A and B are shown apart, each in its own frame.
Chain A
Amino acid sequence: MTDNGSHSASELLAVMSSRVLEDGQTVFAGVGIPLLAATLAQRIHAPGLTILFEGGVLGPFIVPGELPPSTNEQRCTRQANMVLSNTDVLLLLQRGYVDIGFMGGAQIDRYGNLNSSFIGDADDPKIRLPGTGGGNDIASLTRMIVSMIHEKRRFVENVDFVTSTGYWHGGGTRNDSGLTTGGPYRVITDLAILGFDGETKRMKVEALHAGVAPEQVQDATGFELMFDDEIGRTEPPTAEELAVLREMDPDRVYIA
């Protein structure tokens, strides 16, 4: 994990994720890094960003220091425009009202397929993970941003189980599977910002965080990455960004 002393890896993920969001967008966010990223974006550059919670909330503002333990509690409804059933908020994805969905996962492969169900063989798993929740729906129905710590055991050649379909087997296969919209958009890690090749749909490095060498990213990845011809550099988190995160999460539940 990267920590140069001034910020944690989780803070870096939250800051980098927030910068990808644009004012006016509607964003599906879970608790943890996604919610912090969306809230940070609202405070810094995207005051008109609308957050959707899987629990059935449209457009809340989170009270600093009162981060919800999941997206299904009353703390998620503060200053919201609307509460609605989980089914209906998820159907907004299917209807096409959501610009970006945030995802995490235990494993990701080169095509952005995500596993949050089983480590090992699904019939005799080493670890039974909590499962998809709305993750599969987000991955199926909108553009998704995946934010993860960059480790070889997470960036794997083959995920043990495809919980959420990315570009499936690459190329046009996602479309062939019946998923005709959305798909992985960015993968944001503590080392780099990655995207996907337009043709092959393989994961490629677009920008590196401060102090990170390209080899470092490849070494932390269990499959061969593509690299953009001109790899960018991200700006480190600013004091203002970090201050907002620490105000939101004073007990450092998510940003430790």
Chain B
Amino acid sequence: MTKTYADLRRETEARDRSLREKVMSLEEAAALVDDGDHVALGGCTLSRTPMAMVWALIRARKKELVVSRSITSTEGDLFYGSGASRHVLTSWFSQGIVWGVSKVMRHYTETGQATFEEWSHMAIGVRYRAGAMGVPFIPVRSMMGSDLTGRIDGPKEMDCPFTGEKLLLVPALNPDVALIHVQRCDPYGNAQMDGLPFMDADIAMAANRVILTTERIVSNSQIRRAPDRTKIPFITVDAVVEAPYGCAPHECYGVYEPFLPNLDAYAALTGGDAEAGVKEYLERYVYQPKDWVAYLDLLGMDNVIDAARRGRSVYND
């Protein structure tokens, strides 16, 4: 899975990295993802989840994706339930502590239908960073002694050539595609994020293609007025999709908090027969709506307003 440097450079060179407009629809962006691709997701747990793009990939009936993310929540359930991916590489996988252990994750992994490849949170971050740096591995000082290392393919112990200390080398992750949701970016893909940055900048630098979804598209001159706020540069970006409420029912910092009633309803729906529950959810919320706005309509105007009111409250103090 670790790429040679020659391959990495060749792939980057083959991309059109010019200053050009990349605005397209969710459907057009989904076509940039191939079956079997390693797709890395930005955000973490319920935050800045690129839900609209996950939704579009499932509607486009993608298959055999390998999905990686720092921490995985309900979007991982949807990948499992739809069959778009049966392999999730992450450090923690459940809807969220307050809802208990995800019944969907449990069902698919315990019946052997899906794989949850477990790495420590720091190790995943360092793996993306190695990918972003263009080096094949980085040494870390965690995970040693644990049973985690025996169940995953990749980490190798070595003695440090400088100090003689034992270290664990974790291999670079260079995803085929990164899906990242941001508060704003310009048509070229210069992206600005508010609040928690998660691993997104490293993921963008590591990936071979980057699909940005954004709450709004702003002008390039607005970006140029505050270039210190730009966290993902346009040269790494291949697609820009405007997707308002693109994380719903998860949150987007300063714009909306999690849609808690919807998340409670999802937990209830999947809490009994997990497979039937997630399939019913997919049918109603992913396959049937005619577009993303129709999906938001299903979540309910009252929930949209409530989540937005709580989300924007960070700017009230």
Contact = CB atoms under 8 A, between A and B. Distances in A.
A86 B121 CA distance: 8
A134 B91 contact: yes
B167 interface: yes
B314 A77 contact: yes
A32 B109 CA distance: 26
Contact of B129 (A31, A87, A132): A87
A200 interface: no
Interface in A57-85: 57, 69-70, 72-78, 83-85
Contacts of A213: none
B120 A86 contact: no
Contacts of A161: 147
Interface stretch (A163-171, A185-193, A224-232, A238-246): A163-171
Contact of B44 (A78, A86, A173, A178): A86
B298 interface: no
A174 B96 CA distance: 31
Given A85-B201, A132-B148, A141 B141 contact: yes
Contact of A165 (B93, B101, B145, B197): B145
A86 B116 CA distance: 20
Q: How large is the interface on B (under 10, 10 to 19, 20 to 34, 35 or more residues)?
A: 35 or more
Contacts of A56: 196-198
Interface residues of A, number: 57
Contacts of A90: 121-122, 125
A155 B314 CA distance: 42
B144 A179 contact: yes
14 contacts: A69-B98, A70-B71, A74-B195, A86-B44, A87-B129, A94-B140, A130-B105, A132-B120, A134-B120, A137-B142, A140-B143, A140-B144, A168-B145, A177-B144
Interface of A: 30-32, 54-57, 69-70, 72-78, 83-87, 90-91, 93-94, 117, 122, 124-137, 140-141, 161-165, 168, 173-174, 177-181, 253
Closest 8 CB pairs of A and B: A87-B125, A177-B145, A178-B166, A165-B145, A133-B92, A140-B142, A90-B122, A178-B144
Interface of B: 44-47, 70-71, 90-94, 96-98, 101-102, 105-106, 109-110, 112, 116, 118-123, 125-126, 128-129, 140-148, 151, 157, 165-168, 195-202, 251, 253-254, 257-258, 260, 311, 314
